[in-house]
Amino acid sequence: MKGISPFIAVILLIAFTIGIAGIVSVWLTGYTRTTSDIVSNQSTTEIKCNYGGVSLKSLRYVGGNITGKIENTGTISLDTIQIQTLFKNQSSLKTSLCGTASSPYNCSSANLSLSAREIASFNISIGGSNYDDIRVITQCASVYDTVDASEVSS
């Protein structure tokens, strides 16, 4: 039995190499495009969030509830607003707020939005008075405000 000629072997090896390079090229192009889109979206969000600001005001603890006001102090709209209660035993409770600034309410998935300079009042149940901090958080990780329990009136 005879083998293939060296010329045919070289041609097959070159064809195989070009085929593999084509497959890798298609995959690499898609991967690069997807990664570039993700980085671009995250960068846009971070740049936008630099113009955000939020403040907790007039906090009051009465009978297991915290009431107060959230003010958007920035120049962009803030979404997905939640109140996070940090307790002395290192646990925490996130309360999602829904509705509109004029009538926010507790819900399972936050959708409350505040336009620039808009203020919303809230009333949430936190159970007991063993909390350390009250924090408002938004869709922007760098846009939040924390108030110490000593600053909350009774």
Domain match, 42 and 71 both: no
Contacts of 30 by beta carbon, 8 Å cutoff, 6+ apart: none
pLDDT for the residue 109: 82
Query: Can you give the residue range of the structural domain that contains 144?
Result: 54-151
CB atoms inside a 10 Å sphere around CB 9: 11
Domain match, 39 and 69 both: no
Give CA angle at 144 (139, 149), nearest 5°. Answer: 135
Domain match, 28 and 58 both: no
pLDDT for the residue 100: 85
Domain match, 71 and 32 both: no
Domain match, 72 and 136 both: yes
In the block, which residue shows the tokens 């009250």? 134
Task: For the chain of 154 residues, list the mean pLDDT of each consecutive stretch of 10.
Answer: 79 93 92 86 80 93 91 92 92 89 83 91 87 92 92 88
Domain match, 85 and 103 both: yes
Domain match, 68 and 23 both: no
Which residue, 49, 64, 81, sits at the end of a domain? 49
The count of domains in the chain is 2
Q: How far apart are CA 144 and CA 134, in angstroms?
A: 11
Q: How far apart are CA 84 and CA 135, in angstroms?
A: 5
> What CATH number corresponds to the domain at position 133?
2.60.40
Domain match, 42 and 59 both: no
Please, where are the H alpha helices in the chain?
Answer: 6-49
Domain match, 88 and 44 both: no
